[in-house]
Amino acid sequence: MTSKATRSGIWVLALGLLLTACKRHYRVGEYVLVEWEEGSPHLYPAYIIERVGESRYRVHFDGYDARYDEEVSVDAIKGTAEGPGVRPPPPARAPRPRRTQRGNPAAG
């Protein structure tokens, strides 16, 4: 008969293995949902454009300019997406074009 501590240890080990297995690897071209900032209520649909190391990916946010492309950890990817979704507002961190003369960004 096994002790209560041994059974408890086995459950902890099994749970750890299950959680590790849940952090799956994604393929280039896969359509995923990405959390822009930790704790953000918005998930952004994105395509994986490059695998960067064992647990990091470069993603292109669907419907946004390439300047929003970002390297994210596997923890920021919250799963795969099925088809185009509702696009959240643009992230606050994006640089804005500089306006100089009467709103003309080309004038310098």
Q: What is the CATH number of domain 26-88?
A: 2.30.30.140
The predicted pLDDT at position 17 comes to 46
Question: Which two structure tokens, joined as six digits, stand for 42?
Answer: 């918005």
Look up the pTM and report it. Answer: 0.56
DSSP for residue 101: B
Of residues 76, 94, 83, 79, the one with CA closest to residue 35: 76
Extents of the domains making up the chain: 26-88
Higher pLDDT, 22 or 62: 62
The predicted pLDDT at position 89 comes to 62
- pLDDT surpassing 50 at residue 100: yes
Q: Name the average pLDDT for the chain.
A: 74
In the chain, DSSP assigns E strands to 31-35, 43-51, 56-61, 70-73, 77-80
